[in-house]
């Protein structure tokens, strides 16, 4: 007697594991996997999911966007699963508490100089295990140049998709 399998076969769990070999990231995933399981906090589940994402889905967030999003949110910690980059177009940096995977040297220096604080995720876990008093931010995922070419075919009515061409002109 064989096992009666419904047409289509058995359903496999589509669990995503960390592809990175970075030991810090692996430990963070282990920590947030535990927190996501053992607490009722949606924050921990989201952080765990984002830590598991590919680098393409963890885009950098500029200091100017961070400042803009943290207006009127005094005392809260900005949380970004990605890199914080410097923006030379911004002159004044307010006092910010930021938790991120990475900071560029210039961004870290400017935040610390303004009296702010740059946290890592393990320090954030000690301060706010359930994500209370935090603001979860994210970089622009769809701002890659390649995204311009996705969508309805170029030339089709109402299409805003850019064609793949070598250059603009009559013969290209």
pLDDT tens digits, 97-118: 999 999 999 999 999 999 999 9
Task: Quote the DSSP letter at residue 6.
Answer: P
Task: Quote the DSSP letter at residue 142.
Answer: G
For β-strands 97-103 and 134-137, DSSP reports them as unpaired
pLDDT tens digits, 10-52: 777 777 788 889 999 999 999 999 999 999 999 999 999 999 9
> 59 is written with which tokens?
């885009």
Sign for the pseudo-dihedral over CA of 29, 127, 39, 49: negative
């Amino acid at each position: 007697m064989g096992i009666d399998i419904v047409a289509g076969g058995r359903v496999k769990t589509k669990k995503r594991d960390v592809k990175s070999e970075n030991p810090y990231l692996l430990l963070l995933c282990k920590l947030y996997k535990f927190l996501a399981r053992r607490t009722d906090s949606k924050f921990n589940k989201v952080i765990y999911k984002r830590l598991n994402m590919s680098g393409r889905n963890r885009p950098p967030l500029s200091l100017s966007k961070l400042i803009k999003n943290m207006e009127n949110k005094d005392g809260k910690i900005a949380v970004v699963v990605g890199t914080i980059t410097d923006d030379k177009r911004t002159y004044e940096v307010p006092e910010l508490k930021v938790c991120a995977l990475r900071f560029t040297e210039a961004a870290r220096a400017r935040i610390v100089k303004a009296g702010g604080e740059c946290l890592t995720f393990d320090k954030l876990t000690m301060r706010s295990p359930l994500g209370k008093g935090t603001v979860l931010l994210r970089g622009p995922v769809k701002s890659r140049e390649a995204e311009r070419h996705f969508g309805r075919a170029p030339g089709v009515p109402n299409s805003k998709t850019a064609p793949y061409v070598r250059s603009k002109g009559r013969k290209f």
